[in-house]
Structure 1
Amino acid sequence: MSILSKSFYFIAWIQIIHSGVSSYEFHQIVKHIILENPDAKTPGLPDDVKLEALCGLLFFILGTFISQSKLKYLSIRGEERIIETDEYLKPIELNKASSTDVVINNDPYGEINYLPSFVDIHAKRKLFKEYLHRSL
């Protein structure tokens, strides 16, 4: 994690904690107002407390996005070097990889594309009704 993402996390936590404490103090004051005068209209949470909580959430999200880095893997072959994401799987062009399949009219994804035919539910219900009538 970089120093920038850590500072965003720190600012976010400070703002969220401060908005929580401010909200608690506001509700304590409102509670005293209601105890003194039960007919008094209760005010809503101040906008600055809401804005502070939202800014804290925004800083937390920004810190999370900034802290992301490329994934690194150890080599399967036992090499003592770390493989980054762009080295792990090489990009291929599907038209070059499947040119022989196109020539022979073969679908490499046939197991996925061609599902077995679905059951005709109306015919099954008709058979079940006939079975019930015969058994009664």
Structure 2
Amino acid sequence: MATTIPESEVEITAVRSQGAGGQNVNKVASAIHLRFDIQRSSLPQEHKERLLALRDQRISRDGVLVIKAQTHRSQELNRAEAWGRLQELVESVARPPKVRRPTRPTLASRVRRLQSKKMRSEAKLLRRREDPAQ
């Protein structure tokens, strides 16, 4: 199920690349900021809700997703990279989440857990006996 985003819903802005100290690296506006308003998009409502529920620092409180791309010196490559990242994010949200049912631990894992707890408590007792401060 391929969810495509119309180009009319995405705003792409060319900006100057930022260096390590915040200075402008080159005078060419090769970096791209891609803005995508989740609330106003034509995505299905459940996809919008999943996107807004993501813990992603690129999504602002008002539901605007900003993807920045500045790794390439060419504006076209940065544009393609940002667009690809947006499509990837929307595709990941479009997949239905896995329903996990609670499972009971196996007998072997319960035995291992009890043994390790017993070993830890025995080691603790030995340390207490060896410690002259107590």
TM over 0.5: no
Q: Which gives a bigger RCO, structure 1 or 2 (Cα 8 Å, sep 6+)?
A: 1
> Which structure has greater helix proportion?
1
Calculate the TM-score normalised by the size of structure 1: 0.26
Larger gyration radius, structure 1 or structure 2: 1
> Which structure has greater strand proportion?
2
